[in-house]
Amino acid sequence: MKNINKISGAEAVIRSLIEEGVDLIYGYPGGAIMPIYDELYKFQDKLNHVLTRHEQGATHAAQGFSRVSGKVGVVMATSGPGATNLVTGIADAQIDSTPMVCITGQVASHLLGSDAFQETDIIGISTPVTKWNCQVTKAEDIPKVLAKAFYIAKSGRPGPVLIDITKDAQFELFNYNYQKCNSIRSYNPISTCSDDLFDKASKIINDSKKPFIVFGQGVILGNAESEFKKFIEKTGIPSAWTILGLSALPTDHYLNVGMVGMHGNYGPNVLTNECDLLIAVGMRFDDRVTGNLNTYAKQAKIIHLEIDPAEIDKNVKCDIALLGDVKSTLPKLTKLVNNNTHDKWLKTFSDYYKIEYDKVIHNEIYPTKIGLTMAEVIKEINIATNGNAVIVTDVGQHQMVACRYAKFNDSKSNVTSGGLGTMGFALPAALGAKMGAPEREVVAVIGDGGYQMTIQELGTIFQTGSAVKIVVLNNDFLGMVRQWQQMFFEKRYASTELINPDFVMIAKGYNIEANKVSKRSELTLAVKKMIESKKPYFLEVKVEKEDNVFPMIPTGASVSEIRLE
Amino acid sequence: MSDKISTFTVSIYSENNIGLLNRISAIFLKRHINIESLTTSQSEIENIFRFVIVVNVSEIMIQRIIKQINKQIEVISSFYHKNEETIYLETALYKVKSKSLFNEKHIQKIIKKSQANIVTVSPDYFVIEKTGWREETEKLYKELEPYGLLQFVRSGRISVSKEPMNISNLLGLNTDK
């Protein structure tokens, strides 16, 4: 606790952020937040503010920062359009459980409701997509509301919080006093469950002949990677990941059997409907994971390890729910289960992998056709980075291909927009990821469509000098939509073909070194040169225009009906 | 548990903060569910607010909704009950021309029989109050309608559960009434 003489609400915002250990903010100034920016100017030595080129970019950068560092991302914007431009990023952070605190300026409190210049009801607008939000009209409320904001954003199942501060509250002087928040009486961030449920679960696990694990981002958010590894290594259970669980377990781990879901691997999808026990670890049975719920793992007993009680039985009814942070529930379970192996069952997965490899994977990573495939680009990135890079992806075909083929040795290395599927996510998120893990290689893999949704953030990358490596896989199409049009709409390519600008020239315009590749013979060297660069670098790869991503579970089909072609 | 649609009364104990109503109604909005009635008031615990919401949904859906409501930071706890698990009432007000009261003898009989109260009588109109179940206030509505209703309004449902809700325990207060 600190006591200082009277300070302004704006200064209190900055001091509160510093108390919370914040040293990096993404944002964009404007009229209603100017007092706070004026204080930022005075605290430049303690707080680095990154001026993005659009407020949406600030939210995605904060998300990227949070996803690699585990810290709370902080965003600032002005009222009205500044605030509304945050909404997509907030919704993305909400559905992907990313801790984020957004601070918006608001018109002076006496003007609220008068349709004043740049007034918008951001509390009303952001309510359904925030974990919590609050409008502050008095300076004295600023420290306690911000303390609550950080506590809520990072505790339990993390999420975004928005604090809207009226301009008069920013100017008002008051006696500042900061106290961190550790509890809120109406909020119970971590549910628990009784010990006998662990006994029951361990018995089911011990008796199971064909157990199967699907793990999600809960393992990463709970910093429970080693606890998870210990559990699967003791039980010998084949484990597959959801897109947000990717990198929690090294891709080459002997029990890692690949990805579940719409474009996941053949074995894990088919065998979901053959296992006798499905253990869901920190995941939420998204429809892109389950396909048709009426035919999803009906033969299996289901144990769900989950922090959020609202996820229990939401989509898939479980036999046992182990509520709590997987960091504490997994070790409890590990202690109770027998040492085991499931070699024959595990071999079933490799048999399916062989089928998938022969029918799909080999042709994708070692293509014989002229056009470049997205997968061979990812393979080159794997080689050049030894699987040590943070891979940031946007949304669409390139995202599915990158997640399918990228190699990861370390956790917190896969940054993508999973739940919301936000095109335009990757470029700013990659900037945030690089700032959150400056010592690591950060490679953004983006499609030509999504890239142009936030292309302006090249300016932020240039200004900060962050050595982000940007790979645009250019097929001159909105590829995923085009694939669906081909498969389900008789090739009626409605508004999916793009006539693209000269991406290399655009990057060079931002003073970013840039290169373009359209021949296989040039690819390896081009990727190597990009990775070796110590500066931001842009690489455009012209890929085959009408390639499709397989395997695929068509919408509404069962996971076992996954198609290889 | 069935997919059958039935009436559920949702009771929410919460902090009394601006914006919470919006947050709770958004949970119904997101699922395209109409709120049949909504009442907010003080609860039996000082500074703790209570919502009573009536919706027609399946039991599976109401369970999911309750979990989403419980997840809101400022909600202490929420519950759902079937009609038979609660004591519930609504209040209706009927404004009728005074002429009807004096000219139509029958109307006085209706009021007496329905155990409604006359709240106000003025030279131009009188106001009848009836508290009870929906069927009762509706019956009275139908009976009074032929005499010309100047205004009609009905409150949302208020309800107390037969089983205790133990909110004080949840809050660590030792004042369960």
pLDDT digits (tens, 9 = 90+) for B83-115: 999 999 999 999 999 888 778 888 889 999 999
For residues A211-233, average pLDDT: 98
Those residues with Cβ within 8 angstroms of residue A480's Cβ, 6 or more apart along the chain or in another chain = A395, A396, A397, A400, A549
Sketch the domain layout of chain B as residue ranges: 5-86+159-170, 88-154
- Tokens 């662990």 locate to A198
B5-86+159-170 and B88-154 have identical folds: yes
Residues in chain A: 565
Q: List the one residue out of A263, A533, A268, A247 whose CA is nearest residue A390.
A: A247
Location of structure tokens 């002087």: A173
Whether A457 and A425 have beta carbons less than 8 Å apart is answered as no
With beta carbons less than 8 A apart as the criterion, state whether A444 and A430 touch: yes
Is the model's pLDDT at A102 over the cut of 70? yes
Confidence of residue B175 (pLDDT cuts 50, 70, 90): very low
pLDDT at B107: 87
Distant-in-sequence, close-in-space partners of A284: CB < 8 Å, separation ≥ 6: A216, A306, A308, A311, A314, A315
pLDDT exceeds cutoff 50 at A385 = yes
Q: Is the pLDDT of residue A485 over 50?
A: yes
Nearest CA in chain A to B17: A134
CB contact under 8 A, B19 and A185: no
Determine whether the interchain pair A127/B19 forms a contact, defined as Cβ–Cβ distance below 8 Å. yes
Structure tokens at B83: 């009609």
Number of CB atoms found within 10 A of residue A180's CB: 13
Taking the model in full, what pTM does it have? 0.96
d(CA B146, CA A533): 86
Give the closest residue to A53 by CA, choosing from A28, A77, A34.
Answer: A28
Active-site hit among A480, A530, A538, A552: A480
Question: Residue A386's CB: how many other CB atoms inside 10 A?
Answer: 11
Distance CA A47, CA A60 (A): 19
3-state secondary structure of B10: strand
CATH of domain A195-349: 3.40.50.1220
- Amino acid (one-letter) located at A305: L
**Residue A55 known to be catalytic:** yes
Q: DSSP readout, A243-309?
A: TTTTTSS-TT-TTEEEE-STTS-HHHHHHHTT-SEEEEES----HHHHBSGGGSSTTSEEEEEES-G
Between CA B45 and CA B47, with CA B46 as vertex, the angle to 5 degrees is 115
Cβ–Cβ below 8 Å for B22 and A152: no
Q: What amino acid is encoded at A529 in this protein? A: K
> Chain A to chain B, count of Cβ pairs less than 8 Å apart?
46
pLDDT surpassing 60 at residue A4: no
| Mutation target vs A (from B73, B75, B76, B171; most A CBs, 10 A cutoff) | B73
Contact list, B63 vs chain A (CB under 8 Å): 313
Beta bridge partners of A530: none
CA distances for A263 relative to A235, A374, A398, angstroms: 27, 14, 11
Cβ neighbors of A26 (< 8 A, separation 6 or more) are A49, A50, A52, A57, A58, A59, A61, A62, A65, A73, A74, A75, A76, A432
CATH of A7-174, one of 3.30.930.20, 3.30.70.100, 3.40.50.970, 3.40.50.300: 3.40.50.970
**In which residue ranges of chain A is CATH 3.40.50.970 found?**
7-174, 370-542
- Torsion angle, alpha carbons of A480, A481, A486, A488, to 10: 110
For A216, the token pair is: 């999600």
Q: Which of A230, A267, A224, A276 is nearest to A245 (CA)?
A: A224
Residue B173 has what pLDDT?
66
Q: Which residues of A touch B23 (CB under 8 A)?
A: 127-128
Nearest to A124 among B22, B63, B71 (CB): B22
Q: Is A320 on the interface with B (CB under 8 A)?
A: no
Cβ of B73 and A131 within 8 Å?
A: yes
A53 pLDDT higher than 60: yes
A114-150: pLDDT as tens digits:
999 999 999 999 999 999 999 999 999 999 999 999 9
pLDDT(B171) > 70: yes
A325 — alpha (psi -120 to 50), left (phi > 0) or beta?
beta
A370-542, what's its fold? Rossmann fold (3.40.50)
pLDDT tens, A496-518?
999 999 999 999 999 999 999 99
Pick the CATH number of B88-154 from 3.90.1300.10, 1.10.1660.10, 3.30.70.1150, 3.10.20.30: 3.30.70.1150
Contact A210, A176 (CB under 8 A): no
User: In this structure, what token pair is assigned to residue A126?
Assistant: 């952001």
How far from A383 is each of A275, A333, A468, CA to CA, in Å?
34, 37, 18
The CATH homologous superfamily of the domain defined by B5-86+159-170:
ACT domain (3.30.70.260)
B42-60 tens-digit pLDDT: 999 999 999 999 999 999 9
Which residues in chain B are contacts of A191 at CB distance < 8 A?
A: none
Helices and strands counted in chain B (H then E): 6, 9
**Is residue A131 among the annotated active site residues?**
no
Which one-letter amino acid corresponds to residue A342?
H
Instruction: Using an 8 Å CB-CB cutoff, list chain A residues near B18.
Output: 135
Closest residue of A to B66, CA-based?
A310
A503 carries an active-site annotation: no
Nearest to A314 among B29, B64, B172 (CB): B64
Q: Do B63 and A310 touch (CB under 8 A)?
A: no
DSSP output for B21-83 = HHHHHHHHHHTT--EEEEEEEE-SSTT-EEEEEEEEEEHHHHHHHHHHHHHSTTEEEEEEEEG
Q: CB within 8 A of A358, min separation 6: which ones?
A: none
Q: CA-based diameter of chain A, in Å?
A: 73
**A118 catalytic, yes or no?**
yes
Q: Tens digit of pLDDT for each residue in A410-462?
A: 999 999 999 999 999 999 999 999 999 999 999 999 999 999 999 999 999 99
| Residue of B59, B71, B168, B171 for testing the chain A interface, max A β-carbons within 10 Å | B71
A215 burial via Cβ count (<10 Å: 0-12, 13-18, 19+): buried
Distances (CA, A) of A436 to A67, A68, A276, A403: 8, 6, 41, 21
Are A76 and A43 in contact by the 8 Å Cβ rule? The answer is no
pLDDT-above-90 percentage for chain A: 99
Single out the catalytic residue among A167, A210, A301, A407: A167
Record: contact A309-B76, CB cut-off 8 A:
no
In whole angstroms, give the CA distance from residue A110 to residue A106.
Answer: 11
Q: How confident is the model at residue B170 (pLDDT cuts 50, 70, 90)?
A: confident
Res. B174: pLDDT tops 70: no
Residue A441 known to be catalytic? no
| CA distance, residue A289 to nearest chain B CA (Å) | 20
State the CB neighbour count (10 A cutoff) for residue B132: 18
Task: Give the C-alpha separation, A10 to A466, whole Å.
Answer: 29
| Tokens at A238, concatenated | 């084949």
